[in-house]
């Protein structure tokens, strides 16, 4: 019997080894050219007005209508291939008018900054069967239907316009727009980047008024970048490099002076909203009440620890306070988008007033009715309110910071439950009447499963199971991701994941590459699916490890905001602790530990290497902030206050200050046209390393922005990083 068991076991091992040899290895081309491991989603998903149907964009040429009840295709609302002499070949996004008889199509996108862009817009009229350009006077930004579908508002050359679709006329709402001076209806660089929005105007629900934010950038200092490939597309011609200049307010410096105007489409008058006497404020959002009687202007003080909601009369511009949120440190920017009006005029806000992010219901006058959610967890999204069943729907990290679930709760709190039975990362997209929802689930071992459900949670149909991706994955030897936690010497519990090298042998010693981002309220350690460069490195012989330090999200306000006034201090302490923990593992070669990161993660790489000394053999800092005095004021001051208020916090945690302490080999990477984290960060740090006598490697990517991409750039960058890690760790 023992001989038989031995033979069976031996045959199984031989078969397993033979099978493993037949599996493919991940290639760089898989990751960055063919993008072989990208999950399929539902592109352009929108619920239709009746709440019983939804639309999807297919092939960049069609908009298809589906039934929530069955999940089946009902009709094709628009097919570009059926339009005679169509002026475009594909479109990138679409918007339905409120009566759903018109469709706004966007194509020929031309980026401005990271999020904003100009484009060509076309309007399809399903009644007249005409496809016409929105305007022929130049590309537009942010084209948006009025609620009655009669007009479209858009921005062009920093001015706001309204196109009357019935008569084909354009009305110019503003005329003072000018590059690097005045912007109407679109945010300036720093608002776009740090308040997370690109459209700074809003139609009133009755379509009479168009509220917009006006940015006066006159006092904001300018930043100038050199662009070297000024003759791209004409290589035979040699020109001087050109300069790109834009407004960029650094920490402690002047911002745009911002005001809110309300344009009356009947009288054509622009009314100035009264936002108070203090000019040094932020106005990051405007929202209309459901009855169109008032505009709500969000006003945030410069320190960002008090947010006021101002109820504004659109006829006079007079305002009165509706609600105020205060915080000892700062009001989290998530408040801005989670704030939601209900149809009855009540509203829901997210507050950290009890130490965790929770939902609160307020009446029309701003008084709190009740706290809707509670517990030692954070609410991470608010989906809306079902007025028929009197249920609020939201997403939370209630089971674990690593996971997300979809929940509902009644207004009185007596009825509550979950719509996400599977552990992992769950989210929902509800129909307008909340009779149905589309549920997306993913986990570390499962790509997106997208299913259609009725309001009770009953599954109607599988919309996307990513079976083609699963079949492809089965052809590859992809190493698994494991979750772990450990306690630091300060008694702080930290969560992480690791990917052991392919063919892992516990009797061997392996090099480790630590990957991280570590920025405020971010998370890298989540139970969600991805296959990418981390798995590629593991198959090349590295153990890859990620740890979320203090300051990251889904663990309550104390954990999230402990880094206030000292960005980098606690995060880098925790990264050093993580490296020491890894070095204690029997299969880790403590002489071969590297750390890398991008942007905030690059900042953390440089600072952690300085603190960790001989603990780190190598590191890669891509597009790092190296001194918070170089970075923009909205982000930096939110966490650090102004430099004159906190000089020690700025300097004590700057990699430039600690450059001479770095012992391991550093690869410093930056794009020369990075408008976000300016290349000055890396140049200043490089000079500090030179003067300290610290050897390092450096790569600057010509005319590339913060994402360092375009053409063969991504392949080149990751090949360089792979080569560097192998040179430093695989000896």
The catalytic residue positions are 599, 674, 706
Half-sphere exposure of 263 (CA within 13 A, CB side): 21
d(CA 305, CA 315): 30
SS3 25: coil
135 Cβ neighbours under 8 A, 6+ residues apart: 121, 154, 156, 161, 163, 170
What are the structure tokens assigned to 561, written together?
A: 């905001």
Q: 388-414 b/e with 16+ CB inside 10 Å = b? A: eeebbbbbbbbebbbbbbbbbbebeee
Note whether 730 and 511 are within 8 A (CB): yes
One-letter-per-residue 3-state SS of 213-259: EEEECCCCCEEEEEECCCCCCCCCCCCCCEEEEEECCECCCCCCEEE
Residues β-bridged to residue 103: 96, 124
Closest CA relative to residue 664, chosen from 512, 475, 437, 537: 512
Going from the C-alpha of 489 to that of each of 325, 486, 494, 581, the distances in angstroms are 36, 10, 11, 10
Cβ-contact 511, 504 below 8 angstroms = no
Q: How many CA atoms lie within 13 A of 620 on its CB side?
A: 24
- The side-by-side arrangement of strands in the sheet containing 169-172 is 141-145, 151-156, 159-164, 169-172
**CA 479/CA 658 separation, integer angstroms:** 37
Spatial separation of the C-alpha atoms in residues 642 and 646, rounded to whole Å: 6
Tell me how far apart the alpha carbons of residues 563 and 145 are, in angstroms, rounded to a whole number.
42
Query: CA 243 to CA 228: how far, in whole Å?
Result: 9
Is the separation of the CB atoms in 428 and 438 below 8 Å?
yes
Between CA 14 and CA 267 the distance in angstroms is: 84
Ramachandran angles phi, psi of 432, nearest 5°: -60, -30
Cβ atoms of 298 and 285 within 8 Å: the answer is yes
Q: How many CB atoms lie within 10 A of CB 245?
A: 11
- Joined together, the tokens standing for residue 282 give 């932020």
Number of alpha carbons in the 13 Å side-chain half-sphere of residue 480: 6
Distance CA(359)–CA(503), nearest Å, equals 47
Helix (H) or strand (E) holding 441: strand 436-443
Q: Which of 712, 725, 724 is nearest to 28 (CA)?
A: 712
Pairwise CA distance, residues 699 & 448, whole Å? 36
- DSSP labels for 632-678? BHHHHHHHH--TTT-HHHHHHT-TTTTGGG--SEEEEEEETT-SSS-
- CA 528, CA 511: separation in Å to the nearest integer? 25
446-456 as b/e: b if 16+ CB within 10 A: bbbbbbbbebe
């Amino acid at each position: 019997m023992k001989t038989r068991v031995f033979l069976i076991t031996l045959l199984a091992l031989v078969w397993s080894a033979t099978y493993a040899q037949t599996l493919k290895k991940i290639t760089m081309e898989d990751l960055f050219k063919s993008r072989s491991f990208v999950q399929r989603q539902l592109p352009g998903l929108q619920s239709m007005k009746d709440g019983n149907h939804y639309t999807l964009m297919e092939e960049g040429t069609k908009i298809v209508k589906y039934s929530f009840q069955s999940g089946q295709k009902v009709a094709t609302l628009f097919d570009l291939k059926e339009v005679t002499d169509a002026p475009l070949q594909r479109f990138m996004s679409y918007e339905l008018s409120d009566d759903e008889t018109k469709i706004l199509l966007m194509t020929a996108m031309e980026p401005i900054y990271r999020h904003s862009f100009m484009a060509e817009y076309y309007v399809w009229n399903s009644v007249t069967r005409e496809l016409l350009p929105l305007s022929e006077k130049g590309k537009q930004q942010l084209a948006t239907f009025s609620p009655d579908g009669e007009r479209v508002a858009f921005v062009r050359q920093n001015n706001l316009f309204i196109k009357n679709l019935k008569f084909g006329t354009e009305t110019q709402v503003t005329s003072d727009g000018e590059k690097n001076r005045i912007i109407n209806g679109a945010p300036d660089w720093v608002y776009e980047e740090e308040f997370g929005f690109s459209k700074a105007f809003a139609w009133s629900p009755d379509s009479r008024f168009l509220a917009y934010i006006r940015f006066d950038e006159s006092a904001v200092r300018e930043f100038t970048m050199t662009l070297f490939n000024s003759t791209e597309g004409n290589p035979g011609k040699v020109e001087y490099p050109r300069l790109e200049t834009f407004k960029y307010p650094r920490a402690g410096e002047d911002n745009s002076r911002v005001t809110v105007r309300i344009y009356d489409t009947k009288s054509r008058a622009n009314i100035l909203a009264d936002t108070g006497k203090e000019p040094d404020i932020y106005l990051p959002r405007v929202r209309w009440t459901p009855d169109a009687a008032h505009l709500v202007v969000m006003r945030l003080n410069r320190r960002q620890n008090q947010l006021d909601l101002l109820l504004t009369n659109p006829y006079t511009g007079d305002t009165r306070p509706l609600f105020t949120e205060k915080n000892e440190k700062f009001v989290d920017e998530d408040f801005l988008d989670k704030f939601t009006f209900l149809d009855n005029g009540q509203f829901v806000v997210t507050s950290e007033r009890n130490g965790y992010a929770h939902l609160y219901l307020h009446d029309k006058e701003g008084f709190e009715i009740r706290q809707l959610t509670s517990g030692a967890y954070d609410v991470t999204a608010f989906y809306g309110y079902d007025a028929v069943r009197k249920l609020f729907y939201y997403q939370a990290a209630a089971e674990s910071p690593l996971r997300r679930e979809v929940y509902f709760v009644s207004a009185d709190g007596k009825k509550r439950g979950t719509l996400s039975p599977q552990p992992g990362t769950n989210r929902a997209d509800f129909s307008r009447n909340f009779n149905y929802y589309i549920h997306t689930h993913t986990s570390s071992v499962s790509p997106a499963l997208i299913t259609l459900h009725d309001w009770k949670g009953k599954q109607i149909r599988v919309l996307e199971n990513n079976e083609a991706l699963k079949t492809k994955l089965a052809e590859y030897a992809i190493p698994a991701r494991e979750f772990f936690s450990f306690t630091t010497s300060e008694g702080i519990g930290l969560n992480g994941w690791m990917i052991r090298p392919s063919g892992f042998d516990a009797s061997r010693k392996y090099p480790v590459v630590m990957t991280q981002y570590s920025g405020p309220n971010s998370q890298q350690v989540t139970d969600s699916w991805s296959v990418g460069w981390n798995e590629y490195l593991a198959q090349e012989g590295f153990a890859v490890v990620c740890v979320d330090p203090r300051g990251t999200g889904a663990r309550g306000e104390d954990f999230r905001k402990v880094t206030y006034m000292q960005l980098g201090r606690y995060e880098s302490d925790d990264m050093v602790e993580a490296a020491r923990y890894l070095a204690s593992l029997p299969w880790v070669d403590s002489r071969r530990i590297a750390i890398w990161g991008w942007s905030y993660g690059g900042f953390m790489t440089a600072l952690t290497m300085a603190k960790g000394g001989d603990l780190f053999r190598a590191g890669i800092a891509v597009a790092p902030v190296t001194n918070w005095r170089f970075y923009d004021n909205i982000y930096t001051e939110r966490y650090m206050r102004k430099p004159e208020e906190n000089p020690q916090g700025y300097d004590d945690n700057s990699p430039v200050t600690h450059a001479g302490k770095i012992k391991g080999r550093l690869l410093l990477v930056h794009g020369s046209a990075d408008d976000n984290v300016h290349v000055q960060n890396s140049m200043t740090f490089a000079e500090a390393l030179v003067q300290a006598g610290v050897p390092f490697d450096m790569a600057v990517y010509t005319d590339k922005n913060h994402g360092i991409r375009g053409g063969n750039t991504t392949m080149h960058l990751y090949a360089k990083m792979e080569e560097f890690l192998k040179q430093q760790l695989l000896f």
